[in-house]
């Protein structure tokens, strides 16, 4: 009886240790696709007009700010950058630097010479870093009507904006919803 209990406890310990190793391995694999990078937004001529966000493919905010900004963020392999200008004439000399990449939102254009009217209609832009290239399929009305929406972790969700895996009960597709 005692020997059986000891064996049962040993099996339980072995299962727990195996589970911990699996979790550590999964965590390491997930973190291997992430990197910590510096983020800087320069001032430009009208910093009060500037805002930006770095978001996951599902729309979760990783980092956001204005001008000027200097900080760091842990980035996944794929993400999106949304750059906004409240006046609508671009960032007027300001740039967003993520690691060693430079992103400008119409930062180099002399608006008076090129278009000549104020205010402009350029309030925001989104830059995709891989989200739309990971197998996204467009859903054509009539051909495929999803009844279930799953986030990228496999949880059933109510869709808003971002990347989803959808199913009509027979077919499954990966889609991107922009609202």
pLDDT digits (tens, 9 = 90+) for 95-125: 999 999 999 877 555 444 444 455 566 688 8
Q: What is the pTM of this model?
A: 0.56
> pLDDT digits over 76-88, tens only?
988 999 999 888 8
Cis peptide before 113 (omega within 30 of 0): no
Strand pairing report for 50-55 and 79-85: antiparallel
Residue length of the chain:
179
Confidence band for 156, pLDDT divided at 50, 70 and 90: confident
Burial per residue of 6-31, b for 16 or more beta-carbon CB atoms within 10 angstroms, e otherwise: eeeeeeeeeeeeeeeeeeeeeeeeee
Cα 132 to the center of its chain, rounded Å: 11
Confidence band for 54, pLDDT divided at 50, 70 and 90: very high
The winner for highest mean pLDDT among 1-5, 97-101, 126-130, 165-169 is 97-101
Residue 51 has a pLDDT of: 94
Confidence band for 141, pLDDT divided at 50, 70 and 90: very low
Residue 99 has a pLDDT of: 92
Residue 42 has a pLDDT of: 93
Higher pLDDT, 129 or 117: 129
């Amino acid at each position: 009886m005692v020997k059986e209990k000891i064996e049962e406890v040993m099996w339980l310990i072995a299962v727990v240790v195996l589970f911990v190793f699996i979790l550590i391995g999964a965590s390491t694999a997930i973190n291997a696709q992430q990197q910590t990078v510096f983020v800087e937004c320069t001032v430009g001529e009208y910093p009060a007009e500037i805002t930006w966000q770095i978001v996951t493919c599902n729309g979760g905010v990783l980092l956001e700010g204005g001008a000027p900004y200097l900080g760091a963020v842990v980035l996944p392999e794929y993400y999106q950058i949304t750059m906004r200008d409240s006046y609508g004439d671009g960032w007027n000399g300001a740039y967003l630097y993520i690691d060693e990449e430079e992103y400008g939102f119409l930062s180099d254009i002399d608006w008076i010479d090129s278009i000549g009217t104020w205010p402009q209609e350029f309030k925001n832009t989104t830059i995709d870093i891989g989200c739309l290239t990971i197998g996204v399929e467009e859903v054509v009305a009539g051909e495929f009507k999803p009844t279930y929406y799953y986030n990228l972790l496999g949880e059933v969700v109510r869709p808003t904006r971002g990347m989803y895996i959808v199913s009509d009960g027979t077919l499954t597709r990966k889609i991107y919803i922009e609202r």
